[in-house]
Amino acid sequence: MTSTDKQPHLPPGFLVVDKPSGMSSMKAVAIVRRKAGGLKTGHAGTLDPLATGVLVLALGRATKSIDLVMSTSKRYRTVIDLTAFTTTDDREGTRSEVSVETPPGIEQIRSELGRFRGEVMQAPPSFSAMKVNGRRAYKLARSGKPPKLEPRKVMVHSIEIIRYEWPELELDLHVGKGFYVRSLARDLGGLLDTGGHCASIRRTAVGHFTLDGAVDPEELADPLPAGMLIDIDTALGLTGNG
């Protein structure tokens, strides 16, 4: 049996996986495509390799509806380390330590976070998939020439403080398309005169797609059972702003 014969009758649809840390979004796509017998597969919004959580995959004809899913809002949990900036705005980059004599209080943090609610301008991280003159920003950054990316409008529906124990700040975020959690960490650190980078990022929802029933792509059965897929009509009914 060849890979293309493995699941000849797999219908088009969507699959929600819980991407583990260290795996790229494209690696997750490749794993699912193989288990789906080579059926065309794409993802509805990249997660950084460091990040974990909801990654919505479209299979077969469902790939034509990826943009509808990508346009929905997202929810994240992130832990921000306020002791240093990094080249990648997360813990994978080179650290630049910031000496902080008096850590900010929670009321100061709450006040500064208020600047990020609503429609705001945000510059993407240098290490991102944004294109600059036809090249990915992260490729330029890796070559030692990090690009300066222009701010763009993003929507922040809500930011809630979950925990603050210096130097870690844990937030729950509900944001619109194109928002970068790493940029928030960087920009907040700048306002607080501290450092700011993401120690962890977990996406908990894409629209109404949540972690409920999401599976590590490496733990999915091979071949992929048809019952794991959400049919297109049902899935597109889940693309509200949730």
Q: What is the DSSP letter of 193?
A: T
35-91 pLDDT per residue, tens: 999 999 999 999 999 999 999 999 999 999 999 999 999 999 999 999 999 999 999
Question: What Å distances lie between residue 44 and 27, 59, 145, CA to CA?
Answer: 14, 11, 29
Mutual angle of helices 106-113 and 181-192, in 10-degree steps = 120
Superfamily of domain 3-71+209-233: Pseudouridine synthase (3.30.2350.10)
Q: Where in the chain is the domain with CATH 3.30.2350.10?
A: 3-71+209-233, 74-205
Q: What is the CATH number of domain 74-205?
A: 3.30.2350.10
* Average pLDDT score over residue span 151-179: 97
Q: What's the confidence (pLDDT) of residue 139? A: 57
Higher pLDDT, 154 or 135: 154
Mean pLDDT of the chain: 90
134 pLDDT above the threshold of 90: no
Catalytic hit among 18, 48, 81, 89? 48
Q: What's the confidence (pLDDT) of residue 145? A: 59
Q: What's the confidence (pLDDT) of residue 200? A: 98
Catalytic annotation on 212?
Answer: no
107-129 pLDDT per residue, tens: 999 999 999 999 999 998 876 56
Which residues touch 221 (CB under 8 Å, ≥6 apart)?
35, 228
Burial bucket for residue 165 (CB in 10 Å: 0-12, 13-18, 19+) = exposed
Lowest mean pLDDT among 9-23, 114-128, 204-218: 114-128
Closest CA to 158 of 38, 41, 74, 85: 74
* Residue 134 amino acid letter: G
* Average pLDDT score over residue span 153-172: 98
* Average pLDDT score over residue span 5-29: 88
220-239 pLDDT per residue, tens: 999 999 999 999 999 887 66
